Amino acid sequence: MVYEPAMVPPKKSRRTLFVVLGVVLALCCSGGAIGGFVLYRVAREATGPARATVDTFAAAVVARDYPTAYGQFCAQVRDRLDEADFARQQSAQPELTGYEIVGVNVANTNGRVHGSANVRFTPRDGVAITQVLPLVKEDGDWRICD
């Protein structure tokens, strides 16, 4: 009688398993990071022009450059409030030393593109004032509007 050893399946290496798991984990993490970056870029592109309008307006108000600030208003506001009245109203306000754009949101509702921005103004004396600035897209540009 000839003795033949039983067939024993080759031993799978744990190292191979860890390498495969490591590669899968790396792909998942990098996919999440890339997806997050793409989402950030899309959101930035959507809100960037609106943010620029708000930035121009807020910087002009702080600098007391009322003609520049007034130029950021939509036609509806400019029809209701002339530049001299706007400058007079703003001149009566406490002096501001800075601002921070806390957030900008834009949306398209049934073809009407609109948004809002939260801006925190810092007065020379007193507590910071947060204003919500309504935004509309008018003739392709973002404007501050009611």
Chain segment 102-111, per-residue pLDDT in tens: 999 999 988 8
Q: Which helix (H) or strand (E) holds 118?
A: strand 112-123
CB of 59 within 8 A of CB of 119?
no
Please tell me the distance from the alpha carbon of residue 19 to that of residue 70, in angstroms, as a whole number.
Answer: 62
Please tell me the distance from the alpha carbon of residue 77 to that of residue 133, in angstroms, as a whole number.
Answer: 12
Q: Using one digit for the tens of pLDDT, what is the confidence trace for 47-98? A: 899 999 999 999 999 999 999 999 999 999 999 999 999 999 999 999 999 9
Structure tokens belonging to residue 52: 């620029």
Instruction: Give the pLDDT band (50/70/90) at residue 11.
Output: low
pTM of model > 0.75: no
* Residue 44 pLDDT exceeds 90: no
Distance of CA 121 to CAs 63, 64, 74, 99, 109, Å?
12, 13, 21, 4, 29
Instruction: Walk me through the domains of the chain, giving residue ranges and CATH numbers.
Output: 28-144 (3.10.450.100)
Q: Using one digit for the tens of pLDDT, what is the confidence trace for 98-138? A: 999 999 999 998 888 999 999 999 999 989 999 999 999 99
